A and B are shown apart, each in its own frame.
Chain A
Amino acid sequence: MIALTLPAQDGGSFTPPSVTSHLAPFFTIGGFEFTKQMALVLLSVVIIAWFFIAAARKGQLVPGRLQFAGEMAYGFVRNSVGKDVIGAKDFKKYVPLLFSLFFFILLNNLYGTIPWIQLPSFSHVTGAYFLALLVYVIWIGVGVKENGLRYFKLAVVPSGVPWYILPLVVPIEIISNFVVRPMTHSLRLFATMLAGHLIVLIAGSGIEFLIAQESWLLKGTSILVLAGATAMYMLEALIMVLQAYVFVLLTAIYIEGAVHADSH
């Protein structure tokens, strides 16, 4: 990465891509811009549906390869996220939500590693906002359904706190539970995807810039950038999977908090 700073001494101008550079939309219908992210989101729905329908179509006692992959994937979300976090008694209702969220986010993140696509859909903040909004509405709804309107009291007044500390604790709880929580939930996904996408993009344009230089020394340094970029690319692939897991894990934890608001 240090090679990126070298051409500046040469007087050449390297303008890296930034957060303000956007792809042009594919087409526009009456002010509504159909962008690459939207096409990728639609494509992800088709791919996920195709994969799991194909995996579940011929259910056999001794699973084939595809069925085995599908069952592994399902079992992972069901057991290690749903059952372990929400608890064996009431987790079943929420497995479909967790399952679809996990694979939707996973595939949309992994777009960032596929050459020529190379754009995680949630590197645009709106998608992440709306996913977090969906989860926000759902866990508040679950809390109200399970505990009645008493849920809001249970959520913001921690038990076992002396009354004279309550004026301090209650505002903090309200802000952290109902304001900051959905924000960080969405921004975590968005910011990691944006940062990873930008790093790969900057490295790519840096390599292009260095190759076009006169001096052979500078041309040679592009190999260093390429090595650094490959390492970051691998790290990004790991982070993409991790963020899908973290998003769904947090969803499960919020739902668990809403279901068992009594005991918290």
Chain B
Amino acid sequence: MTGNINGSLNLIGYGLSAIGGAIGVGLVFAAYINGVARQPEAQRVLQPLAFLGLALTEALAILGLVFAFVLK
């Protein structure tokens, strides 16, 4: 069976690099849920921290996406 696959290898690289960001975001929210479950009144303090962590972790995955499109 023969076949052609067309497309950019960049996107495979991006898919691999997104694993790191995915694990990071998962850890951030796991910690946030843990914290709120143990101490529900801390939710207001933890929420901006969790989203800040999300934003900073996600930045790497986003740079990867942009480079996947930009680099030829």
- Considering only residues 12-60 of chain A, those with a C-beta below 8 Å from chain B are 19
Given that A184-B59, A249-B55 are known contacts, is A191 also in contact with B66, CB under 8 Å in the complex?
A: yes
- Considering only residues 15-72 of chain B, those with a C-beta below 8 Å from chain A are 44-45, 47-48, 51-52, 54-55, 58-59, 62-63, 65-66, 69
Q: Contact size class for B?
A: 10 to 19
Tell me if A253 counts as interface (CB < 8 A to partner B): yes
Given that A188-B58, A249-B55 are known contacts, is A84 also in contact with B48, CB under 8 Å in the complex?
A: yes
Contact B55 A188 (CB under 8 A): yes
- Return the chain A residue nearest B60 by Cβ: A184
Given that A80-B44, A84-B48 are known contacts, is A246 also in contact with B62, CB under 8 Å in the complex?
A: no
- Return the chain B residue nearest A181 by Cβ: B59
Give complex CA distance A242, B47 in Å.
12
Tell me if A100 counts as interface (CB < 8 A to partner B): no
Given that A80-B47, A184-B59, A188-B59 are known contacts, is A246 also in contact with B54, CB under 8 Å in the complex?
A: yes
Q: Which of B45, B48, B58 contacts A249 (CB 8 A)?
A: B48
Question: How near does chain B come to A232, taking the closest CB pair, in angstroms?
Answer: 16
Question: How near does chain A come to B43, taking the closest CB pair, in angstroms?
Answer: 11
Tell me if A195 counts as interface (CB < 8 A to partner B): yes
Contact A191 B65 (CB under 8 A): yes
Q: Convert A50-77 into 0s and 1s, putting 1 for each residue whose CB lies closer than 8 angstroms to a CB of B.
A: 0000000000000000000000000000
Question: How near does chain A come to B65, taking the closest CB pair, in angstroms?
Answer: 5
Q: Which of A9, A19, A184, A249 contacts B63 (CB 8 A)?
A: A184
Tell me if A200 counts as interface (CB < 8 A to partner B): no
Contact B52 A253 (CB under 8 A): yes
Tell me if A192 counts as interface (CB < 8 A to partner B): yes
Give complex CA distance A195, B58 in Å.
14
Contact A19 B52 (CB under 8 A): no
Chain A residues, Cβ within 8 Å of B48: 80-81, 84-85, 249, 253
Residues of B within 8 A of A (CB): 3, 44-45, 47-48, 51-52, 54-55, 58-59, 62-63, 65-66, 69
Add 15 more A-B contacts to A187-B66, A188-B58, A249-B51 (CB < 8 A). Answer: A8-B3, A9-B3, A81-B48, A84-B44, A85-B48, A184-B59, A187-B59, A187-B62, A188-B59, A191-B65, A246-B51, A249-B52, A249-B55, A250-B52, A253-B52
Interchain residue pairs with CB less than 8 A apart (22): A8-B3, A80-B44, A80-B47, A81-B48, A84-B45, A85-B48, A184-B62, A187-B59, A187-B62, A187-B63, A187-B66, A188-B55, A188-B59, A188-B62, A191-B62, A191-B66, A192-B62, A195-B65, A245-B51, A249-B48, A250-B55, A253-B48
Ranked 8 nearest A-B pairs via Cβ: A184-B59, A191-B62, A246-B55, A191-B65, A188-B62, A187-B62, A249-B51, A19-B69
